[in-house]
Amino acid sequence: MSMEQYLGVYFLGIGGIGMSALARYFALKGRVVAGYDRTPSAITSQLAEMGIGIHFIDDAELIPSEFRNPATTLVVYTPAVPETLAELAYFRRGGFQLLKRAQVLGMLSLGYQTLAVAGTHGKTTTSTLLAYLLGSSSVGCDAFLGGISKNFGSNLVTADKGRKLLVAEADEYDRSFLNLHPQLAVITSVDPDHLDIYGDYERVVEAFNQFAGQVKPNGTLIAKSGLGIAPIPERGVTRLTYGLSSDADFYPVNLSLNEGCYGFSLETPNGTIDDLKLGVPGLFNFENSIAAAAAAITCGISHDELRSGLLSFSGVSRRFDIRFKSSRTVYVDDYAHHPREIEAMIESARQVYPNRKITGIFQPHLYSRTRDFAFDFARSLDKLDMAILLDIYPAREQPIEGITSQTIADKMNNPNRLLLDKADLLEWLRKNDVDVLLTMGAGDIDRLAPEIVKIFEAK
């Protein structure tokens, strides 16, 4: 199927991080773009500034006239959109071409040599850093990212310099990443997650092995050391590993630490690269930088370009995102929504801000994930000095009987824990002094960040 016939592209769930990158792309390519989303956000505001029409009421009457011809309109939807959506039903009845976001990304990637970054956590920072390293170098790339790059100010990168390289975040949700057949793949982690889709961990591993098996002949697979991804069948695929210890092909040595930021030398299969420093703090950022560096080196980036890119990398919005800092208080926001991510976030905060009291606010994401990992969430949150749990953000799900944030709290050993709703949270922050504050979650907790910053500024 060719996309050339489509004059307009309509998005259902246009404000999603992956969807909005595609919307930006098609708008830049001269297509007429519009869409629906449930709620306004900073992303929908940015899209509107580009001239993209967006509405927030599910009503087929609000679909603009230029998107009512199935011969010239492509409809892109996210799996998070409910089947009961009236606009989705309108397009289905009308015989429109409907494609999932991942299918469209897979089709667009066919025009590139694709560098796909997958993992149950770490993929957004790794893919964003890889895109920045390549995009700011002589190599160049385009990129579809799962977060807002602070360097580019976008989740879409258009910095290709002739080689037609595409960095794509490869999302395992709904098996989306199986739409990609990359020239180079990076796998950062394979943990139990999305069990509402996969059923059990064995199916998660199976999907990642299938993704690894889709690397093109004579391509490259770079996986974190120790993941146990099955060897690629004999198709000339080069298999490399990265990690923090010497059992990997790419690993750091001569480490130094300055305000949470790592300086290091990088051992590679072709020798040592000295005088490297990552511009953002945190151990998990550092580990992801080894993966991105390994991929960038494989793509031909020079040592000087690597040094410059790592040092000037500003990070990703909502990934150890320092929103406020004063002599009394530090406030960091993060997308962490899996027990391993929360644990890594807290460990990094303790490393960057040693001997300080850390309060964490966590908004669980999905009833099914809360049910499946309640014990693991409890163990991760126990690492905080003070833990505050908000109500579960349901996203695409209906409530599950007996599953609430209390389910996690009941399994915690930390006596310093509270359950609050969002309105009461702001009042609690006004009345209580906080040393280091972390907000964590993949729902809408980030929309509280501006108000939290105002509270700290007023103190």
- Domains of the chain as residue ranges with CATH: 8-100 (3.40.50.720), 111-312 (3.40.1190.10), 321-458 (3.90.190.20)
State pLDDT tens for residues 212-225: 999 999 999 999 99
How would residue 359 be classed by pLDDT, with cut points 50, 70 and 90?
Answer: very high
pLDDT grade, residue 231 (50/70/90)? low
* pLDDT single digits (tens) 238-294: 999 999 999 999 999 999 999 889 999 999 999 999 999 999 999 999 999 999 999
Cα gap 349→347, rounded to integer Å: 5
Q: Which of 60, 59, 67, 56 is nearest to 26 (CA)?
A: 67
| Residue count of the chain | 459
Q: 196 pLDDT exceeds 90?
A: no
The pLDDT assigned to 459 comes to 86
Q: Please, what is the Cα angle at 312 between 309 and 318, to 5 degrees? A: 105
Per-residue pLDDT reduced to its tens digit, 17-68: 999 999 999 999 999 999 999 999 999 999 999 999 999 999 999 999 999 9
Question: When comparing pLDDT for 313 and 236, which is higher?
Answer: 313
